[in-house]
Amino acid sequence: MTERRHDREFVRTFFTSPTAVEGEADSAKMLRRAAQLRGMQAPDVWVPDNEDATAPSMRDEGAENIVEVVVEHGADFPGEIHPRMVWHRDSPTTRYQGFQHMLEIADPERGAIEHIDGFVIPEVGDIDDWKKADEFFTIVENEHDLEEGSLKMSVIIESGQAELAMGTLREEMGKPTNNLERLFLLVDGEVDYTKDMRAMTPTGELPEWPELRHNTSRGASAAGLIAVDGPYDDIRNVEGYHERMAENRAKGMLGIWSLTPGQVVEANTSPLPPKTGSWLLDIDGEQVELEAEDGAEVYDGDHLSLEATDGGYQLHIDGTTRTLDADELREELHGMTSYVPSMDDIVDSMEEFEAAKEAGRGAIAMEQSATLRIGGTEIDISKDRMWDEATYQAAMTPINLFQDVYENRPDQHEELNERYGADVVSRAMEVGL
């Protein structure tokens, strides 16, 4: 796995909050509130947003507010702080304004910059446009006697040009005339991307853009950066947010933009392994989670039912009945079930594999057993899976993420210990090292 380039190897949450709100006595109220979030409510990366979330007329005041609030709360904020500046590939005015705000916010005499980890640049174009932004970072660092390359730069991918630029990062980052090694997050911005691509849907809903997300994840992998998905607008739809995150994880995009502290909690916890394992039953291509009850895994839906008969079983699936003996039934259920391991299960398996490896064995079988209860009838099944070095390495991803979180977010220790128990946590911190 390609090593990421900065302290944080994983970023789960990218939380934007407006830097100034018009018509409020305290225009920095929402900034202050965000700065005081802690634990699962606090994001890995907090983005005081001086672009879209702040009205155009309020952006100078927004930059001032960033300085003020970060001076006040920055030292205690548990995540990284990356204000978003204005920028546009097609507007030198906007780019110059973004530069001026960076210069101002980064002035060490103002006292904010020591708590700021970098800046976020939206609406970037092709790679040469990224270099213009990078050059402004370098000038800001030079003017303010900061170490060259010390400010991280994250970009919002919201144009076809920027999507293509991600294909060249690996080679561009090595060139002597830029400091693109400062790059940190590649964040998809699907609303503006949709506009740039001129895409339309009948209801105005955003397209899913699977290829964009793949390319962002791949770009991050190839260049040692971190991929983050865009905002999920339908903020009351928690289930939809979770589905989107699950899809993203299957693409290697483990972080997502959050618009509310509620979304931050969901996005902080979603990529972590579950507390308890669970069995899934595949019903017509949909995965139904079975309920654990008195030691059995219970399905009581309408699509499937099971009866024990004299010589064996009758399995009813959507109106079709099949007569099977116990072995045939097990084979049938084998193909229909799968197991979602808990954190404890994963750690167990990794420890077991590490021990086997030390004893000179390269592959071992891991078994998972359960009693299924379908329509009141029970049957025992077991599934085994071969673990070799590659399986072990792949299983490391969630553990690496957990270890990264645990090291970087002491404010979440209490919640993590509560979730998993101190024993599992301490074993999870030991495996794979």
Residues between 242 and 281 that touch a copy of itself (CB under 8 A): 246, 249-252, 254, 271, 280
How far from chain centre, in Å, is Cα 326? 43
Q: Residues 64, 80, 192, 266: which binds a copy of itself (CB under 8 A)?
A: 192
Q: Residues 149, 160, 261, 262: which binds a copy of itself (CB under 8 A)?
A: 160
Radius of gyration of the chain (CA): 25
Q: Is 382 in the site for a copy of itself (CB under 8 A)?
A: no
The amino acid present at 149, given as its one-letter code, is G
CB of 252 vs a copy of itself, minimal distance in Å = 3
Phi, psi of 5 (to 5 degrees): -90, -10
Q: Is 156 in the site for a copy of itself (CB under 8 A)?
A: no
How far apart CA 138 and CA 124 sit, in angstroms, is 17
346 neighbors 399 (Cβ within 8 angstroms): yes
Q: Is 432 in the site for a copy of itself (CB under 8 A)?
A: no
CB of 149 vs a copy of itself, minimal distance in Å = 22
Q: Is 388 in the site for a copy of itself (CB under 8 A)?
A: yes
Q: Is 191 in the site for a copy of itself (CB under 8 A)?
A: yes
CB of 108 vs a copy of itself, minimal distance in Å = 33
Of 20 and 140, nearer to a copy of itself (C-beta) is 20
> And the tokens for 328?
């045939």
Does the active-site annotation cover 380? no
> And the tokens for 325?
């003996």
Q: Residues 205, 291, 293, 430: which binds a copy of itself (CB under 8 A)?
A: 205
Q: Is 210 in the site for a copy of itself (CB under 8 A)?
A: yes
Residues 168-187 that bind a copy of itself (CB under 8 A): 170-171
Q: Is 48 in the site for a copy of itself (CB under 8 A)?
A: no
287 neighbors 281 (Cβ within 8 angstroms): yes
Q: Residues 13, 97, 179, 194: which binds a copy of itself (CB under 8 A)?
A: 194
Listing DSSP states for 157-215 in one string gives E-SHHHHHHTTTHHHHTT-TT--GGGEEEEEE-HHHHHHHTT---TT-PPP--HHHHHH
Stretch that binds a copy of itself, among 53-61, 66-74, 136-144, 290-298 (CB under 8 A): 53-61
How far apart CA 398 and CA 343 sit, in angstroms, is 9
Residues 94-153 that bind a copy of itself (CB under 8 A): 126
Residues 217-236 that bind a copy of itself (CB under 8 A): 217-222
- Location of structure tokens 């001032």: 64
Q: Residues 25, 57, 295, 358: which binds a copy of itself (CB under 8 A)?
A: 57
How far from chain centre, in Å, is Cα 285? 26
102 neighbors 119 (Cβ within 8 angstroms): yes
Choice among 233, 300, 388, 423 that is catalytic: 388
364 neighbors 352 (Cβ within 8 angstroms): yes
Residues 390-419 that bind a copy of itself (CB under 8 A): 390-391, 393-398, 400
Q: Is 198 in the site for a copy of itself (CB under 8 A)?
A: yes
CB of 154 vs a copy of itself, minimal distance in Å = 18
Q: Is 385 in the site for a copy of itself (CB under 8 A)?
A: yes
CB of 320 vs a copy of itself, minimal distance in Å = 8
Distances (CA, A) of 53 to 18, 97, 153, 258: 5, 16, 19, 13
Q: Is 93 in the site for a copy of itself (CB under 8 A)?
A: no
> 255-258 and 13-18: which strand pairing?
parallel
Task: Please report which residue ranges of 74-158 form alpha helices under DSSP H.
Answer: 92-105, 127-143
Of 80 and 129, nearer to a copy of itself (C-beta) is 129
Residues 300-329 that bind a copy of itself (CB under 8 A): 302, 319
Closest CA to 157 of 205, 219, 81: 219
Question: Which residues, including other chains, have CB under 8 Å from residue 415's CB and lie 6 or more apart?
Answer: 39, 40
Which residues participate in catalysis according to the annotation?
A: 388
